Homo-oligomer: A and B are copies of this chain.
Amino acid sequence: MERKKVVAGVDVGGTNTIIGFVDRDGNILKEDRIKTNHYPVFEEFVAALYEKIDNITKGSEKELELIGIGIGAPMGNINKGTIEYPADLPWKGIMPLADILGRYTKLPVLVTNDANAAAVGEMVYGGAKGMKDFVVITLGTGLGSGFVVDGKLVYGHDGFAGEIGHTSIRPGESNRDCGCGKKGCIETYASATGLKRTLLKVMADSIEPSHLRKYSFDELDAKIIHDAALNGDHIAIGAFEHTGKMLGFKLADVVAHTNPEAIFLFGGLALAKDLIFEPTKRYMEQNLLSIYRGKVKLLESKLSTQNAAVLGASSLIWSTREQQ
C-alpha cells in the first residue's frame, strides 16, 4: 500500500515549539511539541527538534512518508532559511536554522515568518484556494502581513517582504510608541494590544459610564473589550471604530500597492467579526482610489486560529512542490 505523503509543519513560539505532520488536505495526523525556552543554546534546540521529528517519522513510517519540513518563526527569513534577531525567542543574532537542520536530514527545509506562513496556508488549505493575488493580515499581539502575487508568496530581495505592521500612520508627528523603536506604527493601533491602547484613549476622552473603567490596562484583553462592545458599551464600540479606521486606512495603501482580489484578516482580533470588519471595510473603501472601490473583498481567514501556524508552516512545502 502506498504511504500517505505528509509535511512536518513546525511553529516556533517563545514558549512552545509545536510540530504537526500534515497531509495535503490540511489534516494534522500526528502532533508533538518541545519547550522552546528549555534550549538556550540554538544548536541544542535544533537537535531536540529533529529528534522529535525523527521519532514521529519512525513511529508512523508504515503509513506516512515525510517529504519536507516547513517552519514558521518570528523573523524567519525565507531566502536564507534563518531566524534573524527575534525579539521573543531565547536566542540572539542570526540563527541558520535550515542549514543546521540540514546536517540531520536531506529533506527540503523552508523557514519563514508567521504571517507569510499564514498567507501560504490560506492559499493551500484555506479561503484563498484558487486565488492568485491576495494578502493575509494577522492581527495578534502585533500586526503581520503576507503578500501573494500571481500565485506566489512575495519574498523580496532580502526575504523580508510583508512587514507592514511597522509602517506608520502619519509622517513625523505621531505619538504612539512602538516596540520596534519607531512611532505610530499601524500595529500600535490595529492589533490586540493596539485595541487596548485605543480603548484607554477613548476612555480618557469620553465621559460615558462603562464597566471597563474598572479594569486596569494589564487586566484588559481583546476578548473583554469585544464582549463589552457586544453589550453596547460605547467606549468599547468606539475603540473598535477607531481601530477599524486605522486598519482600513492602511489596507487602502495595501490595495494601491499590489491590487489584491481579497484581503484576509486572521487572528484574535479578527474573531470580533462585524465589530472590526464593518469599520475596517468602511474606512478602506473611503480611502481607496475610485478604480479599486467595491472590488476588493475583505474576508475572514478560513484557517482555524488554533492550528494555523502549523498548517501555514507545512503549506510552504506543498506550495513549493506544486509550483515546480
Nearest Cβ in chain B — how far from A266, in angstroms? 18
Nearest Cβ in chain B — how far from A149, in angstroms? 5
Which size bracket describes the interface of A in this complex?
Answer: 35 or more
> Which residues of chain B come closer than 8 Å to A182, judged between CB atoms?
287, 289
B257 touches A160 (CB 8 A): no
Q: Does A298 contact B (CB under 8 A)?
A: no
Given A167-B252, A258-B147, is A291 in contact with B154 using a C-beta cutoff of 8 Å?
A: no
> Which residues of chain B come closer than 8 Å to A134, judged between CB atoms?
157
Nearest Cβ in chain B — how far from A163, in angstroms? 5
Q: Does A104 contact B (CB under 8 A)?
A: no
**Chain A binding surface, main DSSP class:** loop
B150 touches A260 (CB 8 A): no
Q: How far is the CA of A290 from the CA of B87 in the complex (A)?
A: 12
Stretch at the interface among A118-126, A168-176, A202-210, A226-234: A168-176
Q: Does A100 contact B (CB under 8 A)?
A: no
Q: Which of B85, B154, B166, B169 contacts A258 (CB 8 A)?
A: B154
Q: How far is the CA of A290 from the CA of B164 in the complex (A)?
A: 13
The 7 closest A-B pairs by CB, nearest first: A156-B259, A170-B170, A157-B261, A161-B259, A171-B249, A166-B289, A133-B157
